[in-house]
Structure 1
Amino acid sequence: MVIGDFNAFLNVSEKQSKTPPQMSQIDAFRDALEYCQLEDLGFRGYPFTWSNKRSGYAKTKVRLDRAVANKEWIDKYQMSNVAHLSSHASEHLPIILRVWCYKQQRHRRGKGFKIKESWLLWEECENVVMEAWHNVEDEQIGLAAVKEKIKKCCEELMAWGSARAEPHANVIKKLQQKLDTLN
């Protein structure tokens, strides 16, 4: 993975200027990344990372700063993301790479979450899920955001479900006997 100022851009859309981009430079940068088997990681935020700080027709804005990685890195850290931050002190916007590794949950100790079918019969169950889903802060995007929402739903359902009084085996037996006598 490589991150920083490449002083080059990949697409015509990554430059705003009165002077048109030179396609030979774009092609050369694409060829270099392809030769090194590197892919652009994309970004969130403002589309340009550099400006000449001029106004009017003299103003130029370009996406020069980026993060690129090979396929193995992308597969290992598939939930990672790049964000363009704001800055008033430099011609370049700072960029940040948040690295997230997707790990299988098989290696966790303890019990995993299991919803009890009886919870679905209780009217409040849907409200618990909806409230938990919508109360997660939107700090993450994509699969990472969905994972956080699911985790929050699990936590809330466990707390809510375990707080509800569940009948004990002997209560169930007594109710079953009453049902049998009614038949």
Structure 2
Amino acid sequence: MPWLYARDFNEVAKQSEKMGGRARHHAQMQAFQDILDECGFMDLGFVGPMCTWHKHFKDYTIWERLDRSVETSDWFFMFPNTKVYHLDVTTSNHKPLWIMLEGMECKQQWPFKFEKMWMIKRGCGDTIEVVWKENYEVSGEQKMLKKVNNCGKKLATWSKNSFGNVRRELEKKKEVIGKGRTVSSQWG
């Protein structure tokens, strides 16, 4: 099954991924590497600065590569040109990861994101259940990918019908609030 997993693992895989502060215990790094190996994950590597996290102390700074993206060999064979970029930001002590996939079709304007608010609205679970029960002409991992893809499309349609365009509505509300603040500041 092709898997890509990206997150703050809160651990370095080797001593060279840490600068400043005390050295990491080898056993601690080895345990992390063993888990990755047991799950069949390999590191995707990166483009950009090595360290993705830092913490400033009075006399020194610690820099570490805690955020990473790992993949299974199946993912590598399906998307061999996947690239992970470490982006620079000034608003966090973690650098965000930007993952570029080549060879994967993505026709949606916005990437699919499951919204927690959907869980309280009638119809969300039914939509998922209908998609999951559908028969597909493919098997194995292709069947799973097709179900996940179709589930995302159906939920996006369901959401638009149930909630409308949430982003547009939020912008309208912000505009009304802004006008209200302007009026209230004029009147004291």
User: Normalising TM by the smaller chain, what interval?
Assistant: 0.5 to 0.7
Distance 1:34 1:7 in 2: 17
Aligned to 1:25: 28
Tell me which amino acid in the other structure corresponds to 1:92: H
How far the C-alpha of 1:55 sits from its partner, in A, is 5.7
Distance 2:81 2:5 in 1: 17
Residues 97-129 of structure 1 deviation map (CA, whole Å, 9 limit, x = unaligned): 1011289xxxxxxxxxxxxxxxxxxxxxxxxxx
Aligned to 1:81: 83
Distance 1:55 1:87 in 2: 22
Distance 1:65 1:22 in 2: 19
Unaligned runs of 5+ in 1: 104-183
Q: Under a length normalisation based on structure 1, what TM-score does the superposition of the two structures give?
A: 0.53
Distance 1:89 1:53 in 2: 14
Aligned to 2:151: none
Question: What CA RMSD, in Å, does the superposition of the two structures yield over aligned residues?
Answer: 1.6
Secondary structure at 2:68's aligned position in 1?
A: strand
Aligned to 1:54: 57
Identity of matched residues, %: 30
Distance 1:45 1:3 in 2: 16
1:95 matches 2:115: no
Q: Under a length normalisation based on structure 2, what TM-score does the superposition of the two structures give?
A: 0.52
Aligned to 1:5: 8
Whether the 8 Å CA contact 1:81–1:98 is kept in 2: the answer is yes
Distance 2:67 2:104 in 1: 26
Secondary structure at 2:13's aligned position in 1?
A: coil
Count matched residues. 102
Whether the 8 Å CA contact 1:78–1:102 is kept in 2: the answer is no
Aligned to 1:141: none
How far the C-alpha of 1:14 sits from its partner, in A, is 0.2
Whether the 8 Å CA contact 1:49–1:84 is kept in 2: the answer is yes
Unaligned runs of 5+ in 2: 106-188
Residues 110-161 of structure 1 deviation map (CA, whole Å, 9 limit, x = unaligned): xxxxxxxxxxxxxxxxxxxxxxxxxxxxxxxxxxxxxxxxxxxxxxxxxxxx
Stretches of 4+ aligned residues off by more than 4 angstroms: none
Choose which of 35, 42, 48 in structure 1 pairs with 2:45: 42
Please show how residues 1-183 of structure 1 align to structure 2 within 5 Å.
Answer: 1-54=4-57, 56=59, 58-101=60-103
Distance 1:35 1:61 in 2: 27
